[in-house]
Amino acid sequence: MRRILTVLLVCAFLPRLAAAQGADGSACAALAGSPMLEAELFFGRNIGDVLGVSEADWERFVEQEVAPRFPDGLTIHDAAGHWRDSATGRLVKEPSKVLIILAPLDERTRGRLKEIAEAYKARFRQQAVGTVLRTVCVSF
Average pLDDT rounded to a whole number, residues 68-96: 92
Q: How far is CA 56 from CA 62, 93, 125, in A?
A: 10, 21, 17
Q: Is the pLDDT of residue 7 over 70?
A: no
Average pLDDT rounded to a whole number, residues 68-86: 93
CA 63, CA 61: separation in Å to the nearest integer? 5
Average confidence score pLDDT of the chain = 84
Q: How far is CA 58 from CA 63, 66, 123, in A?
A: 9, 10, 11
Average pLDDT rounded to a whole number, residues 116-137: 96
| Predicted local confidence at residue 4, as pLDDT | 37
Higher pLDDT, 57 or 139: 57
Average pLDDT rounded to a whole number, residues 16-29: 56
Is the four-CA dihedral 2, 72, 67, 49 of positive or negative sign? positive
**Domains of the chain by range and CATH?**
35-138 (3.30.70.120)
CA 132, CA 112: separation in Å to the nearest integer? 14
CA 47, CA 57: separation in Å to the nearest integer? 12
pTM of the model: 0.78
Q: Which is nearest to 28 in space by CA: 9, 11, 15, 12?
A: 15
